[in-house]
Amino acid sequence: MLASLDRAKRVMQIPTEDTSMDETLSLLIAAASQAIENHCKRSFRKKLYTERMSGYPSLYLNLRNYPIHHIEEVRADQILGDYEEIGDGRLYREWGWPIGEHNISVTYLGGYVLPSEATKEEPRTLPESIELACLLYIQMIGRNPGAKSERVGDISVTYSDDSEALPAPVAALLTPYVGRWV
């Protein structure tokens, strides 16, 4: 999950010893985390990934789940070793990549250490803006789920019709992390 239960409770000003909302908050954090990963078209969790992609006339391949910590294997018809990881999940190969449909497979350790998985040996590396986006989103969902506007006198509520879009402040925090592939 992109935010810890403890931090969510602090942000929402719920005493840490109060466990009455823990299940609801955990569900909100999980739902917000999934919505954010769907929006960004990637996973943020640090783990081993294998991606299959098509080779096309380019010197670069873009991997989804950066930062890349270690590349286990790059394979086309054979194992390729003549490439360079140049940051932000991009692989460079001087002679280009073999052209074909889903002909390249890359296995790599990538992603961030999430706040909920951080240890003393491996502290969190998830950017604060992603965690803030998650916390902001759970606050918005918790406050008025799906409500676009409210009015108290003569009671009126309008519900949002953009079911797939994240709220603008949340989306703005995530802009640098949205996938650059189709």
- Phi and psi based region of residue 13 (left: phi greater than 0; alpha: psi -120 to 50; beta: remaining): left
What digits encode the pLDDT tens for the residues 56-115?
899 999 999 999 999 999 999 899 999 999 988 999 999 999 999 999 999 999 999 999
Whole domain around residue 17: which residue ranges? 5-41+118-143+163-177
Per-residue CA distances from 90 to 80, 81, 132 (Å): 15, 15, 26
Q: Are residues 66 and 102 in the same domain?
A: yes
Mark whether 139 and 96 lie in a shared domain: no
Residue 15 in domain: yes
> Residue 53: what are its φ and ψ, rounded to 5°?
-145, 165
- Please check whether residue 87 lies inside any domain of the structure: yes
- Give the mean pLDDT of the chain: 90
Instruction: Tell me: do 97 and 70 sit in the same domain.
Output: yes
Q: How many domains is the chain built from?
A: 2
Q: In this predicted model, what pLDDT tens digit does every residue of 5-18 receive, in sequence order?
A: 999 999 999 999 99
**Distance, CA of 107 to CA of 20 (rounded, Å):** 42
Residue 61 lies in a domain: yes
